[in-house]
Amino acid sequence: MEATTLPKSWNIDQILDDLDQHGFAVIDDVYPHDYVHQLVNECTSNLNRFREAAIQNGVVSNIRSDHILWINENLDIAQRHIDTLKQFSQLLNRYFYLGIKDVEAHFACYNAGEFYALHRDNPQNKNGRMISTVYYLHEQWQDDWGGELHLQDKNNLWHTLKPRPNRIAMFQSDLLHEVLEAKQQRLSITAWLRSDQAIL
């Protein structure tokens, strides 16, 4: 896989350097507008299928209040995003020897008042999640609408990443993070690049 197969807007060297130095990276203007619009339509047309999110083994917890829909091959538009992440995983394996084998992903909807408290996606290497990614797919967002990703980097510094449209935030899955309360409906795709086979 050559980097040229990834979207041209991705600064591959910068992304890899940020992941190496800080444990996280941000990519803006990820996809062309036409694709973003198709993706938003696919997400919003399926909102009635979303269910309350769980944390472990299907247990619903009060540390999070978002709603999700797991992505499979029947969601054609979102599957293209997953395929891009699979291509990018090959680069991560080449540079960081992460052994990523698969990607699991779901649409996420945070309605006004919803949040996700401080947690790690892979605490103490208890699962195969290596890299976490959040792609923000709402078409408009204002800074005072909340819903930020609050993240502690690998150097123990805290960052607040705004959920700007057509942005990806990606970070090591063992880093501590939270989603601050949203004041408007916030739509995204959360995906994990895994060193094992994802089971949806």
pTM: predicted TM-score of the whole model, two decimal places: 0.92
Q: Classify residue 161: in a domain, yes or no.
A: no
User: Which CATH number fits the domain that encloses residue 126?
Assistant: 2.60.120.620
For the chain, what's the residue count?
200
Q: Classify residue 118: in a domain, yes or no.
A: yes
Q: Classify residue 200: in a domain, yes or no.
A: no
Contact 159, 29 (CB under 8 A): no
Segment 47-57 mean pLDDT? 78
CA–CA distance, 137 with 189 (Å, rounded to integer): 7
The pLDDT assigned to 124 comes to 83
Q: Classify residue 4: in a domain, yes or no.
A: no
Query: How many structural domains comprise the chain?
Result: 1
Kindly report, residue by residue over 101-127, the tens digit of the pLDDT: 999 999 999 999 999 999 999 988 889
DSSP-based three-state secondary structure for 38: helix
Kindly report, residue by residue over 55-83, the tens digit of the pLDDT: 555 544 568 888 999 999 999 999 999 99
Is the pLDDT at 48 greater than 90? The verdict is yes
Is the pLDDT at 153 greater than 50? The verdict is yes
